[in-house]
């Protein structure tokens, strides 16, 4: 159980990520696994990236999504545990030492229906890297891992 | 009904060390009905000297440097065939590549794009690197949508458009294929190793890093797979 005061950091060393059409697309370069986070999950990712604590993330989700109150806290705990296990985010001292205040978010113009955030894991998409395959080099070694 | 002829488009840019071998690997195909189109994308090396001696066995199309997508498009426009295949100038085909692919098209006429598996090989001078990667995925047969394995019905370019120019060269072939696939093109991969991809010091993808465009491709690929899975389940 993560304390509400904890901050988790995106694993910037190994994970490349981008929000596309409200969905977070990520690659863990250390093991070549791909991930996606749906709409609520993508917002969670953005909030973590901005330096929000676990408690602040839950508050934001409850404010932004209709029907999230009472469900989001538990769902987000599960999501963050999964993200920690996959090493997409890290819990280190450095995360809690981040001094930057999270930016103030504009109030939502209309609440979207809440869906429990899901981390989709694609371990069978290694071929994708082979579509336009990297050749040996430092970056490539990271992409393929050491298996 | 498409003509059974296959146009083999070889886009090349400053690959005089390799392009002759690529052409030879098409000339020795066991499939006879071929047209070889070498599109020289403004090479400044000895490409023309290497290619001209092939004479009438090939069609040589020199053009100002416009990039790989424009070169492939020029090759498609010059083709007089029912099918089009592509071979990067530094890669090689297995002699039976077109025979095996066309046999599958014969069995499955509804198919539009057919890729195959391939293996990497190391150019002379990179023996150390080859040794280093001998137990690595880079040394194993690979299944993917690599352009040098593609055999496509020529009609797919009319249906889904040509390769987009002015996009990242590393991704343009895949972007085109995904556009076609999402538009309804039937895509398959033949799991035989029928292409050999040469690793050398000049590979465009050497030093490859993930960029924003690649992540966009990942999403497009994921969405395509999801749609395909849903359709298969219906």
* Overall number of domains in chain B: 1
What DSSP line would sit under B95-114, residue for residue? TTHHHHHHHHHHH-TT--EE
| pLDDT band for position A40 (cuts 50, 70, 90) | very high
| pLDDT band for position A138 (cuts 50, 70, 90) | very low
Residue with tokens 């863990």: A28
The angle subtended at Cα A14 by Cα A19 and Cα B221, nearest 5°, is: 45
Q: What is the pLDDT of residue B17?
A: 93
* Overall number of domains in chain A: 1
Q: What is the pLDDT of residues B180-193, one digit of tens each?
A: 988 899 999 999 99
A-B CB pairs within 8 A amount to: 94
Q: Chain B: nearest CA to A42, how far in angstroms?
A: 14
Q: What is the pLDDT of residue A29?
A: 75
Domain-located, residue A1:
no
CB contact (8 A) between residue B174 and residue A131: yes
| pLDDT band for position A142 (cuts 50, 70, 90) | very low
Helix (H) or strand (E) segment spanning residue A94: helix A93-96
Domain-located, residue B222:
no
Beta-bridged to residue B37, according to DSSP, are B9, B59
As a whole number of angstroms, the distance between CA A127 and CA B2 comes to: 31
Mean pLDDT computed over B213-229? 81
Best of B91, B145, B199, B209 to mutate (most A CBs within 10 Å, chain A)? B209
Domain with residue B13: its CATH number is: 3.90.550.10
* pTM, rounded to two decimals: 0.77
Q: Chain B: nearest CA to A123, how far in angstroms?
A: 12
Residue with tokens 């999403």: B219
Q: What is the pLDDT of residue A136?
A: 45
CB contact (8 A) between residue B138 and residue A23: no
Q: To the nearest 10°, the Cα dihedral for B131, B137, B139, B142?
A: -170
As a whole number of angstroms, the distance between CA B23 and CA B34 comes to: 12
Owning domain of residue B180: 6-203
Domain-located, residue B160:
yes
As a whole number of angstroms, the distance between CA A46 and CA A64 comes to: 13
CB contact (8 A) between residue B199 and residue A144: no
Q: What is the pLDDT of residue A147?
A: 28
| pLDDT band for position A62 (cuts 50, 70, 90) | very high
Q: Is the pLDDT of residue B227 over 90?
A: no
Q: Is the pLDDT of residue B203 over 70?
A: yes
As a whole number of angstroms, the distance between CA B7 and CA B75 comes to: 8
CB contact (8 A) between residue B219 and residue A128: no
Q: What is the pLDDT of residues B123-182, one digit of tens each?
A: 888 888 888 888 877 788 887 788 999 999 999 999 999 999 987 777 788 889 988 988
CA neighbor of B229 nearest in space, from A120, A43, A92: A120
Name the pairing type of β-strands B113-122 and B187-199: parallel
3-state SS assignment for residue A138: helix
Q: Is the pLDDT of residue A144 over 70?
A: no
% residues pLDDT > 90 (chain A): 49
> Of A124 and A17, which is predicted with more confidence?
A17
Domain-located, residue A39:
yes
As a whole number of angstroms, the distance between CA B201 and CA B188 comes to: 31
ipTM above 0.90, yes or no: no
Buried b (16+ CB within 10 A) or exposed e, B19-37: bbebbebbeebebeebbbb
Mean pLDDT computed over A79-99? 85
Q: Is the pLDDT of residue A42 over 80?
A: yes
Closest Cα in chain A to B173: A132
Closest Cα in chain B to A26: B215
Q: What is the pLDDT of residue A133?
A: 44
Helix (H) or strand (E) segment spanning residue A31: none
Backbone angles phi, psi at B190, to 5 degrees: -90, 120
Domain-located, residue B220:
no
Q: What is the pLDDT of residues A100-123, one digit of tens each?
A: 555 555 555 568 899 999 999 987
**Quick one: tokens of B220?**
């497009």
Beta-bridged to residue B188, according to DSSP, are B114
| CA dist list (Å): B137 to A3, A130, A138, B37, B77 | 41, 10, 15, 32, 37
Helix (H) or strand (E) segment spanning residue A124: none
**Quick one: tokens of B48?**
């023309």
Domain-located, residue A4:
no
Owning domain of residue A31: 9-144
Q: What is the pLDDT of residues B47-99, one digit of tens each?
A: 999 999 999 999 999 999 999 999 999 999 999 999 999 999 999 999 999 99
Q: What is the pLDDT of residue A75?
A: 97
């Amino acid at each position: 159980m993560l304390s509400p005061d904890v901050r988790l950091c995106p694993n910037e060393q190994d994970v490349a990520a981008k929000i596309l059409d409200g969905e977070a697309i990520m690659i863990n370069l250390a093991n070549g696994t791909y991930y996606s986070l749906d709409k609520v999950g993508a917002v969670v990712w953005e909030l973590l990236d901005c330096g929000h604590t676990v408690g602040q993330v839950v508050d934001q989700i409850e404010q932004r999504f209709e029907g999230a109150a009472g469900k989001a806290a538990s769902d987000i705990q599960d999501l963050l545990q999964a993200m920690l296990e996959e090493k997409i985010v890290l819990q280190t001292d450095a995360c809690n030492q981040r001094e930057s205040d999270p930016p103030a978010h504009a109030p939502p113009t209309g609440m979207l229906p809440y869906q429990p955030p899901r981390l989709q894991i694609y371990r069978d998409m290694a071929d994708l890297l082979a579509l336009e395959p990297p050749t040996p080099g430092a970056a490539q070694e990271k992409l393929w891992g050491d298996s | 009904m498409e003509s059974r002829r296959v146009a083999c488009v070889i886009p090349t840019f400053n690959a005089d060390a390799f392009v002759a071998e690529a052409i030879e690997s098409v000339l020795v195909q066991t499939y006879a009905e071929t047209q070889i189109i070498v599109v020289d994308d403004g090479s400044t090396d000895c490409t023309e000297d290497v290619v001209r001696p092939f004479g009438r066995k090939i069609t040589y199309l020199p053009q100002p440097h416009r990039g790989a997508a424009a070169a492939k498009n020029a090759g498609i426009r010059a083709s007089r065939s029912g099918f089009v295949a592509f071979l990067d100038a530094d890669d090689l085909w297995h002699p039976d590549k077109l025979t095996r692919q066309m046999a599958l098209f014969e069995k499955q006429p509804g198919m539009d794009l057919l890729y195959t598996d391939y293996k990497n090989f190391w150019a002379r001078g990179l023996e150390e690197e080859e040794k280093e990667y001998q137990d690595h995925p880079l040394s194993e047969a690979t299944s993917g949508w690599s352009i040098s394995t593609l055999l496509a019905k020529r009609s797919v370019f009319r249906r889904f458009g040509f390769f987009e120019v002015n996009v990242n060269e590393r991704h343009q072939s895949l972007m085109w294929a995904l556009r076609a696939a999402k538009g309804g093109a039937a895509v398959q991969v033949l799991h035989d190793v029928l292409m050999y991809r040469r690793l050398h010091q000049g590979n465009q993808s050497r030093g490859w890093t993930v960029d924003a465009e690649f992540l966009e491709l990942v999403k497009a690929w994921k969405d395509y797979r999801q749609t395909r899975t849903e359709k298969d389940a219906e």
